[in-house]
């Protein structure tokens, strides 16, 4: 065995093993099937020098040659078939015609292989046989060369019109086919000149090795790295297997002279030592080469890992999301980045942050039932658009077709899911790298770490913000409760005082009023001045009695003795407008009721609710008359969730902001002296609170006021 037959054996084993592995590993993928078959055929053809070195005579050598050339004949059509499967998503008439013609000429050459016009015979030149080509052999070589030239040209054309992801694939294809073409040309030249030129089968190892690594692998790396790994592998294992062989071939006689009959132990020992050291040398050299070639990639991967660790210090949810998209786009240099996070309320993954992409270009929300979401939740893996697209085309799988469409709608070259204790909380959408390079396996691992760390940090940020919001809300509620307690204390104090004062004042007022009325009954004996004075005393006494009655109403708890029933709030409003209608009409004020329904049921005491509405209407009338001669009071009723709301809007003077906080205080009034007691709103608020309701006011000086009463809706 010489170096040519040795190279032939290694190349044959490598090609057949690699082709078989790929064929059975991804059998459903058309590209993998074609690559596997083509590699096996190439491997059998590459075994030719080794087979010729083992032939015992010219007859067996000739028969072996003709059998091997059957596989050589179909080599070019199979690789063209594979090339079309890689470069063309859909085949037209042109591609089908080219493929059919290639298989036709290969089939037509089958009977020619066994004819002496193709191979006349074989010659022996130590230590193996070689082919004696016939006149048809040159035509076969010409067709073979034309096929491979077309193959290389077609890849070059596809390369110019391809995307960044496909360009990396086609770089590998182009390079590997150049290797294969060189190997074939050297083989045919050796046959034609009846002389071995170079151990060309080593080209086949690079040919199939680069192609398998670049095309069949799902995640393609840079071509420089593939060259490096393949080159290191070939160099290391050529030394491992080649040095012992060369030692035995060229140093045999010297070794016999030194070690006598045990000379063979030297190459065997050398083989054993190199076989043990080979894997370690390969790993060491590979790591050193990758450290140099992937400096930039390792730099940004380390930056992303460091960023993932530092994200935990940020508690602002929005700022955190924007920072993640900023870090990824700037560090990795990609076209855009988008973050979607799960929203419990809508049960959708909602757009939360985006970078280098307009909002109208992004999908606002993705349903939890979306096939993309279900796939991510089930597989918990990074999705690469080009991989999914390839599987959709090669396997005709509807699931992959659907995933391709969804990723395209999201403008996603890559989708990285984020999980927290197996709970799918969000995902990161990334665009293409601006450098045109593809995402590597190391990239995907780094992004997965970043996504899961980011999800944890985002969850913590949300909890922190929710906690802050809850603290603010609780603080606000406490302040409101404190105000209510102060107000309640005021009311209780005033109520107690009013009750005592009212009883003390009521008796003297009754005596004064009785005596004044008795004197007025004898007004015939009085002069006009005395009568006028008595009338003024009577009027003032009655006014004082009215104030005392209101104080008594304010002092007592209305609902403790009042009868509670189901009340239609609209009826209460209509009763009040009927009662006050004539008085308001005399003062050029009209009431407009706006109610879309006939029933607005609440639970309470109708008389007291009418008292509240009456007070609101009279206050609204006074506010209007303060600045104009006429106007309108609008009373609107509507249902909102579990509440009935009644809004009373006037066109009056309104109130300044500093006044609004005081209007429900007892004895505070905005009316002129002698025209208000300051108890109406306090009593109304007390009544509504006893009904589990509330009253709010919106007002602006010179623009009127809106009082909104809310009462629980009766079931």
For residue 154, whether the previous peptide bond is cis, meaning omega lies within 30 degrees of 0, is no
pLDDT at 391: 73
Calpha distance 208→13 (Å, rounded): 12
Query: How is residue 539 written in tokens?
Result: 């009027």
Range from 178-182, 414-418, 455-459 that averages highest in pLDDT: 414-418
pLDDT confidence of residue 47: 81
pLDDT of 447 strictly over 50: yes
pTM of the model: 0.43
Tokens linked to 519:
């004197």
Q: Is the pLDDT of residue 126 over 50?
A: no
Distance (Å, whole) CA 620 – CA 239: 104
CB 208 within 8 A of CB 42: yes
707 SS3 class: strand
- If you average pLDDT over every residue of the chain, what do you get? 77
Percent of residues, the chain, with pLDDT higher than 70: 73
- Taking 60 as the threshold, does the pLDDT of residue 552 lie above it? yes
**226 vs 221: CA distance, rounded Å:** 7
Q: What pLDDT, on the 0 to 100 scale, is given for residue 230?
A: 58
640 Cα distance to chain centroid: 36
How many CA atoms lie less than 13 Å away from 10 in the CB half-sphere? 25
pLDDT tens digits along 471-510: 777 777 677 666 655 665 665 666 666 666 666 777 788 8
Higher pLDDT, 338 or 221: 338
Q: Smallest Cα–Cα separation from 447: which of 358, 324, 314, 320? A: 324
Helix ranges restricted to H, 26-87: 30-46, 48-54, 58-73, 75-87
- Residue 713 near residue 601 (C-beta atoms within 8 A): yes
């Amino acid at each position: 065995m010489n170096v040519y037959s040795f190279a032939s054996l290694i190349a044959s084993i490598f090609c057949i093993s690699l082709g078989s592995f790929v064929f059975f590993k991804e059998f459903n993928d058309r590209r993998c099937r074609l690559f596997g078959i083509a590699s096996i055929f190439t491997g059998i053809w590459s075994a030719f020098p080794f087979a010729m070195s083992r032939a015992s005579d010219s007859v067996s050598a000739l028969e072996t040659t003709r059998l091997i050339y059957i596989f050589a004949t179909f080599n070019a059509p199979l690789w063209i078939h594979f090339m079309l499967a890689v470069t063309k998503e859909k085949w037209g008439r042109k591609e089908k015609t080219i493929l059919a013609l290639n298989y036709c000429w290969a089939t037509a050459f089958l009977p020619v292989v066994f004819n002496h016009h193709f191979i006349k015979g074989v010659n022996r030149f130590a230590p193996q046989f070689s082919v004696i080509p016939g006149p048809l052999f040159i035509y076969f070589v010409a067709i073979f060369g034309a096929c491979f030239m077309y193959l290389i040209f077609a890849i070059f054309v596809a390369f110019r019109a391809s995307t960044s992801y496909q360009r990396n694939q086609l770089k590998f294809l182009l390079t590997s086919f150049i290797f294969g073409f060189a190997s074939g040309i050297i083989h045919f030249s050796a046959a034609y000149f009846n002389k071995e030129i170079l151990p060309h089968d080593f080209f086949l190892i690079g040919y199939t090795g680069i192609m398998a690594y670049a095309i069949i692998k799902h995640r393609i790396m840079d071509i420089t790295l593939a060259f490096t790994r393949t080159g290191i592998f070939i160099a290391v294992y050529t030394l491992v297997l080649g040095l012992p062989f060369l030692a035995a071939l060229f140093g045999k006689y010297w070794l016999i002279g030194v070690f006598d009959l045990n000379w063979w132990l030297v190459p065997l020992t050398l083989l054993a030592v190199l076989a043990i050291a080979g894997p370690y040398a390969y790993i060491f050299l590979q790591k050193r080469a990758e450290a140099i070639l992937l400096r930039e990639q390792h730099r940004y991967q380390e930056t992303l890992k460091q960023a993932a660790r530092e994200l935990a210090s940020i508690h602002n949810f929005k700022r955190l999301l924007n920072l993640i998209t900023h870090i990824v786009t700037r560090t990795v240099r990609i076209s855009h980045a988008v973050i979607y996070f799960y929203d419990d309320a809508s049960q959708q993954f909602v757009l939360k942050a985006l970078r280098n992409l307009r909002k109208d270009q992004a999908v606002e929300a993705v349903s939890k039932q979306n096939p993309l979401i279900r796939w991510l939740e089930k597989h918990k893996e990074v999705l690469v658009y080009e991989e999914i697209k390839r599987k959709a085309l090669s396997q005709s799988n509807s699931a992959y077709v659907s995933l391709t469409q969804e990723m395209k709608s999201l403008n996603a070259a890559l989708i990285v899911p984020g999980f927290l204790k197996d709970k799918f909380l969000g995902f990161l959408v990334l665009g293409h790298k601006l450098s045109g390079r593809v995402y590597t396996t190391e990239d995907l691992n780094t992004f997965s770490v970043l996504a899961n760390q980011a999800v944890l940090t985002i969850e913590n940020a949300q909890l922190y913000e929710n906690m802050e919001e809850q603290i603010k809300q609780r603080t606000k509620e406490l302040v409101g409760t404190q105000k209510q307690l102060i107000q309640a204390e005021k009311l209780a104090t005033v109520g107690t005082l009013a009750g005592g004062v009212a009883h003390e004042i009521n008796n003297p007022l009754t005596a004064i009023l009785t005596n004044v009325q008795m004197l007025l009954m004898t007004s015939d004996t009085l002069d006009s001045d005395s009568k006028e004075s008595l009338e003024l005393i009577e009027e003032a006494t009655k006014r004082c009695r009215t104030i005392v009655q209101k104080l008594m109403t304010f002092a007592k708890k209305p609902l403790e003795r009042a009868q509670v029933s189901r009340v239609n709030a609209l009826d209460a409003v209509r009763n009040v407008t009927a009662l006050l209608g004539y008085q308001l009409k005399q003062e050029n004020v009209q009431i407009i009721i706006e109610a879309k329904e006939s029933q607005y049921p609440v639970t309470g005491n109708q008389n007291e609710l009418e008292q509240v509405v009456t007070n609101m209407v009279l206050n609204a009338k006074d506010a209007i008359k303060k600045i104009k001669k006429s106007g309108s009071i609008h009373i609107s009723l509507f249902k909102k969730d579990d509440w009935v709301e009644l809004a009373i809007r006037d066109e009056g003077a309104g109130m300044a902001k500093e006044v609004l906080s005081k209007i429900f205080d007892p004895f505070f009034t905005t009316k002129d002296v002698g025209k208000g007691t300051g108890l109406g709103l306090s009593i109304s608020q007390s009544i509504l609170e006893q009904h589990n309701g509330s009253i709010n006011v919106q007002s602006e000086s010179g623009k009127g006021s809106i009082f909104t009463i809310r009462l629980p809706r009766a079931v």
